[in-house]
Amino acid sequence: MTSSSVASPSFGDLALLPAVLSAVETLGYQTPSPIQAETIPALLEGRDMLGQAQTGTGKTAAFALPLLSRLDLSRREPQVLVLAPTRELAQQVAVSFSKYGQNLQGLEVAILCGGMEYRDQLQALKRGAQVVVGTPGRVIDHLDRGSLKLEGLNALVLDEADEMLRMGFIDDVKRVVADTPQDAQRVFFSATLPAEIERIVNRYLVDPVKVAIESRTTTGENIEQRLVRVDGGAKLEALARILEVEPVDGAIVFVRTRAACTTLMEQLSARGLNVASLSGDLDQSLRERTIQRLKRGKIDVLIATDVAARGLDVPRLTHVINYDLPQDAEAYTHRIGRTGRAGRTGIAITFAGFREGRKVGWMEQATGQKMTEMALPDEAAIRAHRDEVFHHKVVAALTAGAEEQSALVERLVAEGYDPIELACAFARLARADEAPIGRLQAPRKERAPRDGKPPNRERGPSEGMIRYRVSVGHKDGVKPGQLVGALANEGGIEGNRIGRIDIRNAFSVVELPSSLPSSILAKMARARVAGRPLEISEDRGAPERAPRRRRDDGEAPIRRRERA
């Protein structure tokens, strides 16, 4: 594979279509990243490609810019199809195509993902979208319906192929690749190259160009990384205490899901904090307005999903708080990299329970730094902090002068009230709106194993989860990864939010967050696995009835024993 040691040319040297090049210049891009410099010339020539690159290396532009430059806008049919493992990534890729193609008259981009209205997708396809971006399950659904036709396809892009393998989409991927015209360009990107991906590459790619870009995402030494041991039920109080005591100018609090983003924003707003949210639900213009408010100091705390983990540069951000652990170590480095930028210092605080020690270890390994365990402020520390803040306010008020209140105070003193007692009464009135200090539960330690055996777990659902039953099981040939992929994409949640999966013969039991609204559950119920709708319903714990034993031909029937 080629390496990234050669100096990069400018975008103007890469023979891009002038309209695409002008969009790149408008967006402020100057020098291609290593993967862009290596892939764009080959993709412009129509070569098949296997790219080994992590998220965050600029690979979306690496394939979007040359494929946009090769579009025939007079043809109103799909010419480029991009498969992505999740709805979030598919939406990001589609937005990138629209940005880079903003000067291409007549360009249509369609997004085909679970959890989105079929009507909008069908209309986009009827308008003749030249670029289609989607998740494997919904793309196959449109192929089966006949609403998506691939006869005129010029290029197929498989983004994050190894992630699709992990999520159980490999059979769907094979189906789409097989349906692609033989002369279409095929472009695969994968952070790793499992054997199954290599088999698909060897079967379907013709003399591919191979490009490998090492991920060099590192965390600067000017970011102080801390670890707080706290379980889910105590996270809100822990966060409130940190935000009150820490010298926070601006902070981003990262959560896993859009639902958690909205819930936490409402909870912190109720506590009087100046807070806003940023997630994949917001359109681009609203995202930009939210970021501008954060930059101008109109917002002090931003609750965000990983949509804000890349490309966000706000100088006043002093703290990043991982309220929920990220999906992987790379996401962690992107998250905490929002602070401590351009030579500034920053603080990254990560919440984790004792059972999440392995994940913490992965993140420490990725950054090459050990997290310092941080004790949460106790009630005495919070009261001392509040006293100090009030002290400064009183001194500032004395410095500014308070003559307008002197007549009232002199009157109260003349009536015989003690000045010290008066001052205490005034302080009590002035601080009446201070929030009560909530209880903070101690995190539960992992129970030590006995005799080398793992601890005996409770048979109930995990904390914060509810068990649901879905209508596919072993008899349908279903695998856990298929369930994770279908539920995550149709419901629009991250796959790591899905808990334990127990596949039985006729059905399966899946743990889902108890905070999921009914609208998301309804979308999940429409997902299809092994050709069947999931028909999701809350599991009441009824045991599965064992299948009746069938006798072979010639076997004597089993008779009930007669009582004597």
Q: How many residues does the chain have?
A: 564
Cβ–Cβ under 8 Å, residues 527 and 534: yes
Euclidean distance between CA atoms 483 and 490, whole angstroms: 11
Q: CA triplet 162, 163, 167: central angle to 5 degrees?
A: 120
Backbone angles phi, psi at 123, to 5 degrees: -65, -40
> CA-CA distances (angstroms) from residue 122 to 94, 116, 118, 207, 467?
16, 11, 6, 35, 34
Residue 302 bridge partners (DSSP): 252, 276
Q: pLDDT tens track of the chain, all 564 residues?
A: 444 444 457 888 888 999 999 998 887 777 888 888 899 999 999 999 998 876 556 788 999 999 999 999 999 999 999 999 887 788 889 988 999 999 999 999 999 988 778 889 999 999 999 999 999 989 999 999 999 999 999 999 999 888 788 777 888 899 999 999 999 999 999 877 888 888 888 888 999 999 887 655 455 568 999 999 987 778 899 999 999 999 999 999 999 888 888 889 988 988 888 999 988 777 767 877 888 899 899 999 999 988 776 667 788 999 999 999 887 776 788 789 888 876 788 999 999 988 788 788 878 887 888 999 999 988 888 888 888 888 888 887 777 666 677 888 888 888 888 888 888 888 888 787 777 776 665 555 544 444 444 444 445 677 678 889 988 888 888 888 788 878 877 777 766 678 888 888 888 999 888 777 777 888 888 888 877 888 888 887 654 444 444 444 433 343 333 333
223-379 topology per CATH: Rossmann fold (3.40.50)
Backbone angles phi, psi at 321, to 5 degrees: -120, 120
Kindly report the number of other CB atoms within 10 A of residue 130's CB atom. Answer: 26
Enumerate residues 6+ apart whose C-beta is below 8 A from 44. 14, 15, 16, 66, 69, 70
Name the one residue in this structure whose structure tokens are 């591919």.
208
11-212 topology per CATH: Rossmann fold (3.40.50)
Enumerate residues 6+ apart whose C-beta is below 8 A from 111. 90, 91, 94, 121, 124, 133, 134
Q: What is the pTM of this model?
A: 0.52
Kindly report the number of other CB atoms within 10 A of residue 296's CB atom. Answer: 10
CATH entry, 465-538, from 3.40.50.11270, 3.30.70.330, 3.40.50.80, 3.90.180.10: 3.30.70.330
Enumerate residues 6+ apart whose C-beta is below 8 A from 341. 313, 315
Enumerate residues 6+ apart whose C-beta is below 8 A from 93. 60, 64, 82, 84, 133, 159
In angstroms, the first-to-last Cα distance of the chain is 81
Q: Say if 11-212 and 223-379 have the same CATH topology.
A: yes
Domain boundaries, given as residue ranges, for the chain? 11-212, 223-379, 465-538
Cβ–Cβ under 8 Å, residues 324 and 256: yes
- Which of 291, 283, 338 lies closest to 310, judged by CA? 338
Q: Element (H or E) spanning 268, and its range?
A: helix 258-270
